[in-house]
Amino acid sequence: MQDVADERPGIAAAIVVRGGRVLMVRRRVSEGQLSWQFPAGKIEPGESPEEAAICETAEETGLGVAAGKLLGERVHPMTGRLMSYTACEVVSGTATVADAEEVDEVAWVALAEIPPYVPYGLFEPVQEYLDAVLKA
């Protein structure tokens, strides 16, 4: 397990919840075990993690979202990348594969269905957030 982020730019992930489910995307190219993920991408220079989460969600799924609370940051144990996770709410659109070069499929996943999509478990603050909002 890595404790220090590598030199690559950080990654912002959007935790988008709607109708009791969370949005996940399946990458065309897996990063190790990471095939299904939250919409995410590189934080560009001068961009906040929240802004990057909004942009990546739109680019990957065509969905317009608004950033809420930053749930947390960590060095991802499998990729070594600095990751930030932002809770987002849908403001417009329907989730589809908007970037077919990067994304193979999108899915709205119920809380109980997450383990097969993410068998290695979620980052604890993300899990706590989903436990709270998806069980409510």
Q: Provide the residue range defining the domain that includes 75.
A: 11-135
Q: What's the structural domain count of the chain? A: 1
Is residue 117 within 8 Å of residue 105, measured between CB atoms? no
Task: For residue range 65-124, list pLDDT tens digits in order.
Answer: 999 999 999 998 878 889 999 999 999 999 999 998 989 999 999 999 999 998 888 999
CATH of the domain at 78: 3.90.79.10
Is residue 69 within 8 Å of residue 43, measured between CB atoms? no
Query: Does 4 fall in a domain?
Result: no
Is residue 96 within 8 Å of residue 106, measured between CB atoms? yes
Residue 124 neighbours by CB distance under 10 Å: 11
Amino acid at 133: V
The reported pTM is 0.90
Query: Does 65 fall in a domain?
Result: yes
Least Cα distance to 22 among 78, 87, 72 occurs for 87
Q: What is the reported pLDDT for 2?
A: 46
Query: Does 23 fall in a domain?
Result: yes
Q: What is the reported pLDDT for 1?
A: 42
76 three-state secondary structure: coil
